[in-house]
Amino acid sequence: MTGRTEMRVYDCDAYTVDKSLPTAVVLPTTTDQVAQIVRLCNRLQVPFLPRGAGTGLSGGTTAVCGGVVISTVRLNQILHIDLPNRRMVAQAGCVNIHLTKAVAKDGLHYAPDPSSQGACTVGGNVAENSGGPHTLKYGVTTNHVTGLKMVLPDGEVVELGGEIEDAPGYDLVGLTVGSEGTFGIVTEVTVKLTPLPEAYRTLLGVFETIDDATQTVSDIIAAGILPGALEMIDQLILNAIEDAFHFGFPRDAEAVLIIELDGFEAGLDTDAERVREICKKNNAREVRLAATPEDRARLWMARKKGIGAAGRLAPSIVTQDGVIPRSKLPEVLREIKDISRRYGIRICNIFHAGDGNLHPCILFDERDPDELHRVVEAGEEILKLCIRVGGSITGEHGIGVEKIDAMPLMFTEADIALMEKVRGVFNQNELCNPGKLFPNSKSCVEVKWRPKTAYV
């Protein structure tokens, strides 16, 4: 594709603040085609970048220097399922949920479950080291990937790792997971399959105040209980979900927690009772237990479609992604409320509370330049706050273009130079996904190729 109109779909991901039109978009169907495209781009010295479903939240797949977007959506086949050894080989463009659907009848699933799992690709998950509600107990993408096939930025095809775990030598799979598309184009992913839990107890805790809800999160973990998932939704977004789906959530509650316990049937009721007591101790108005699988599905639909429902609240949303120690949740949520007040912008919260992984969603209208400016500044202040309390500038959405300027808040010049050296081993001339991750690459791509052409 080279037409301006059809390529507009590719001018950003779910971080809509930075937009830039690519030079071309290609949709290969084989690893060999990807390699040929990459070699051609090298010959012509044209930048190129991988793109999955474009659900990224940090602008990782935005063509900030133009160049060729290599979409993986047609690399969407599950190639091999090895049930006895609990492995699957899938092409990088497979949608996350399709992996689980393919083996659910065998009592297995692919554990990392981003809330976007109905759309995002496993290649995108690898690039971002994505998490999800259930990664509190089961771990993030890197804990579930054992092998990769990848087209290196010079066009060479390599295989890293394989079906066995902990292969000898450097852990190049571990290094590549989370490299945000700057090491090459992943075309195949070997993942672990995890048995489905025997039983679930899914509770909804309803709280009058955010403080009580966040204190409950800390207390549950401190009590030695490890829920499969522990998610928080605040009042603003809860009402948007109600408007969209009419689930019967209490509109006047300041926050709700979705607390899921899973594992063997024996013992689950005891843990559920302990969770209920901790909620009550923290003044929960009500604790509901999902009585049927349908009730449970409704709770998860509310959580996973929550950001979509927030689309009702404003024309544009920036979903921030910081991490903090769980015990700091009450203090940090209070400060975020204060930031919202000081900058005069609405912020709602729906996040992986058990991981301390915040997602303040900043609501605004990108056509208003003044508001856009305040959104960027408020976002930066939230990240500084996360660092101040001992956290980090990203939990699972990556740096992309969004957080380039925040890197020096967390890393020294020497740290960043070392990371750039590692990137250089794979991506020597920076043609592969330029302008991402590092402050230096931002300026150098503007000089090397063409200035960023942001437009609305």
Instruction: Name the token pair of 268.
Output: 């689950």
Residue closer to ligand FAD by CB (options 55, 427) is 55
For residue 50, the minimal CB distance to ligand FAD (Å) is 4
For residue 281, the minimal CB distance to ligand FAD (Å) is 29
Residue closer to ligand FAD by CB (options 219, 321) is 321
User: Does residue 349 touch ligand FAD according to CB under 6 A?
Assistant: no
**Minimal CA–CA distance to 68: which of 95, 29, 30, 28?**
28
Residue closer to ligand FAD by CB (options 102, 278) is 102
User: Does residue 116 touch ligand FAD according to CB under 6 A?
Assistant: yes
User: Does residue 262 touch ligand FAD according to CB under 6 A?
Assistant: no
Segment contacting ligand FAD (CB under 6 A): 123-131, 221-229, 250-258, 283-291?
123-131
What length is written for the chain? 456
Binding mask 377-406 for ligand FAD (x = CB under 6 A): -------------------xx---------
Q: Which residue has the tokens 């990782």?
A: 60
Residue closer to ligand FAD by CB (options 282, 433) is 433
Between CA 181 and CA 184 the distance in angstroms is 6
What residues numbered 29-68 form the site for ligand FAD, per CB under 6 A? 49-57, 60-61
Residue 115 contacts residue 57 (beta carbons within 8 Å): no
One residue of 145, 186, 233, 275 binding ligand FAD per CB under 6 A = 186
One residue of 66, 67, 131, 354 binding ligand FAD per CB under 6 A = 131
Residue 111 contacts residue 103 (beta carbons within 8 Å): no
List residues near ligand FAD by CB under 6 A.
13-14, 49-57, 60-61, 72, 92, 114-116, 120-121, 123-125, 127-128, 130-132, 180-181, 185-186, 307-308, 396-397, 433
